[in-house]
Structure 1
Amino acid sequence: MSFVDHFARIERDKLLLALYSCTAADVERALVQPEGNLQSLLALLSPAAEPYIEEMAQRSAALTRQRFGANIGLYLPLYLSNLCANECDYCGFSMSNKLKRKVLNEQELAAEIAIIKSRGFDSILLVSGEHETKVGMDYFQRVLPLVKQQFSYLAMEVQPLEESHYRKLVEQGLDAVMVYQETYQAETYAKHHTRGKKQDFAYRLATPDRVARAGVDKIGLGVLLGLDDWRLDALMMGYHLDYLERHYWRTRFSISLPRLRPCTGGIAPKVHLTDLGLVQMICTFRLFNQQLDISLSTREAPSLRDNLLPLGITQMSAGSSTQPGGYQVPDSQLDQFEISDDRTVEQVITQMRLKGFNPVFKDWESAWIVPKMRV
């Protein structure tokens, strides 16, 4: 069993109709008991909830401060490669795009690590295009120990792997896996993924199950907002999160809410998500799940990122590069997508502190963790 089996039984057409049929009374009932309630999640994501966003924002901010204090965790992505064997029309790494391709060798990786460490980061996200021949398990097993020596918390956002592969990477220090479904609408997914292993919708959908069974500490879910109806995609992600938490209670979870951004050969959004809609999503998920980490990308403009911080955000990147080798030698021909917030780390944390938040570069140490008991 995996979420694929559960997903097949979800009547998405009925949920879509319900989303757009919600009334003010439905929203008010949802606000009474939002936590862990999928019906409440639906109502709070609906257009009927828009007049209640101010109330949702105040409650979301209070819940976040109650659970996380004024702390915002900081991490940085380290791009290992832009090689990709997939054709995805929204991504700059797509195999047909004519851009320079690069895979970091050990010397280049060490140079990137040195720069990131000099900026104070102790949490790293390894990212690569999906090319399992040249950037697969052999490569990952070679570079993970080198990275783990320098960082307390190591996450990956690469191609979906087998459960046995995740187990091996956990042994080498892997702490978290981010695997974004992009969209939960199978027809839309097929339209945007036209070549490569990423075409397999079900295999990607089952990836968090494999990650959890392998004993990874945290799993990140996400959708690319703009590929399809963002309200329905967000609701399906909520169903996915609910399923995973019920089946893998020892695993922690996070979500990311990236909006479609320009890239080489990229597409325009099918559905436009306004800033207000993004606020609605953040607040809805905080009310639905008080323990959830919510990450904010550099895809968003600086002023918007600053204003979103109090509403439920717990993790964010700063001073990011979306290209392999980009911290040492910036080269726009290697970018995955355009960054909106190009401020330095110092500029970002200055604004965070002015707003009363505490930037946290390290909140994880393996020595603090009690080993999991065998069952």
Structure 2
Amino acid sequence: MSFYHTYEQLKDLPFQELFSKITSLDVERVLKKDRLTRDDYMILLSPAAEDYLEEMAQRAHQLTVQHFGKTMQLFLPLYVSDYCVNTCKYCSFSVDNVFPRKRLTMEEVEQEAKAIRDKGIEHIILLSGESRMHSSVEYLKECMTVLKKYFSSVGIEIQPMDQVDYEELVNSGIDGLTVYQEVYNEDIYREIHTKGPKRDYRYRLDTPERGCRAGMRSVNIGALLGLDDWRKESFISGLHAQYLQDTYLETEIGTSFPRIRPNAGGFQPNVDVSDKNLVQAMLALRIFLPRVGITISTRENPAFRDDIIPLGVTKMSAASSTEVGGYTNPDDTQSQFEISDERSVDEIRNLLHSKGYQPVMKDWQII
């Protein structure tokens, strides 16, 4: 059994027609319920629900405080390699983009780790381009021998791997996996991933499950918004998160809502996703899945990130660099995407305190 079987049942649904038939009475009925069905979730993603964002925000805030308290976990990404073997139209690391590639040595990994740790951050995500040669299991395990001296939790966002590989990484101390499907629409997926192993839609879709079975403490998924209709993509992503929560009870499931940012290839989004659209997607998911983690990165601008803190977010990045070696040797040669919020960790901490939230620098310890 796999979520792909659920996707096959969903992919040919007439989403536009279904969304257009939803009324304000449907939305009001759903907002009175304690537990939501899949149909209820679709209702909260509909155009009709746009007139109820204030009510949805209040409900989402109440549910988030109930399940997570007024806390916000802070983390940073650590890019160790930008070598990639895939051609993805929207990504700066795509193999077709010509720029000087690099992979950090262990000495450089340690320098980056010290720079991040000096900011007070104890949770990081280890990122790389998708290349089994340059981001091998052995290389990542070597990185972990350095990183676990500095951080209480280390996740990965790399190329999809087999379960046995994830088991090795879990044994090395890695406790989290982030993998975005990018786009759930299988036809669009193949149009924008033109070369490389990433073209295998099914293998990527099943990656979160392999991570869960391998013993990852947390698994984070999501769609890259702007590649297809955001309502449809949010709906399928939410059902994917629900499936993982229901199937892998010991794993903490989280979601993210990344929007396409300027990149080296100059790719323009197929669909515009406004701030209002993104807020609706977040609120609907929080009400549908009260226990799911929600991450917002520095892709989003400061004013927007400030405004959405009470609306369901549980994890934020701060003072991020999306280039390899960017914390100790920023050279502006090539980052994966442009960031929008460049505020320091201290500024984000002060912001959270001013809003009555407790910034969490550590809530897990590698054993």
- Alpha-carbon offset, residue 322 of structure 1: 0.1
User: Is the partner of 1:254 in helix, strand or coil?
Assistant: strand
| Counterpart mapping for 1:152-301 below 5 A | 152-301=152-301
**Which runs of structure 2 are paired with 1:50-199 in the superposition (5 Å)?**
50-199=50-199
1:73 partner SS: strand
1:10-25 aligned within 5 A: 10-25=10-25
Runs of 4+ aligned residues of structure 1 deviating over 3 Å after TM superposition are none
1:36/1:242 contact within 8 Å kept:
no
Cα shift readout 1:27-63 (whole Å, capped 9, x = no counterpart) = 1222122635211110001111000001000111122
Moved more, 32-41 or 278-287: 32-41
TM (norm. structure 2) is: 0.97
Q: Deviations over 1:55-76 (max 9, x none)?
A: 0001111221222221100000
TM-score norm. by structure 1 comes to 0.95
- Matches of 1:332 and 1:36 in 2, distance apart? 46
Q: Percent identity of the aligned residues?
A: 42
Give the number of equivalent residue pairs.
367
Cα distance, 1:334 vs. partner? 2.0
**Aligned partners of 2:157, 2:33: CA distance in 1, in Å?**
34
Q: Please say if residues 88 and 94 of structure 2, whose CA atoms lie closer than 8 Å, have aligned partners that are also in contact.
A: yes
- SS state of the match for residue 332, structure 1? coil
- Equivalent residue for 1:373? none
CA distance in 2, matches of 1:82, 1:266: 18
The match for 2:335 is 335
Partner of 2:156: helix, strand, or coil? strand
Counterpart CA distance in 1 for 2:366 and 2:159 is 26
Q: Which amino acid letter does the alignment assign opposite residue 210 of structure 1?
A: R
In structure 2, C-alpha distance between the alignment counterparts of 1:340 and 1:134, rounded to whole Å: 29
Q: Give the drift of 1:365.
A: 2.6
Q: Structure 1 residue 352: deviation in Å? A: 1.6
Q: Which residue of 1 aligns with 2:31?
A: 31
Contact 1:34 1:40 in 2 (8 A): no
Indicate if the aligned counterparts of 2:84 and 2:93 stay in contact, CA closer than 8 A.
yes
- 2:353–2:359 Cα contact (<8 Å) kept: yes
Q: Secondary structure at the match of 1:337?
A: coil
Structure 2: 5+ residue stretches without partners: none
Paired residue type of 1:72: M
Distance 2:215 2:30 in 1: 34
Aligned residue in 2 for 1:370: none
Q: Is the alpha carbon distance of 1:314 and 1:264 closer, same or farther for their aligned partners in structure 2, counting shifts above 3 Å?
A: same
Change (3 A) 1:218 1:36: farther
CA offset digits 1:329-348 (Å, max 9, x no partner): 11221200000001111222
CA distance in 2, matches of 1:34, 1:27: 13
Structure 1: stretches of 5+ with no match in the other structure = 368-375
Deviations 1:296-316 (A, max 9, x none): 110111011011101111100
Task: Report if the CA contact (8 A) 2:90-2:263 is conserved.
Answer: yes
- Following the alignment from structure 1 to structure 2, what is the Cα–Cα distance between the partners of residues 7 and 54? 31
User: Over aligned residue pairs, what C-alpha RMSD do you find?
Assistant: 1.3
Residue identity in the other structure for 2:218: K
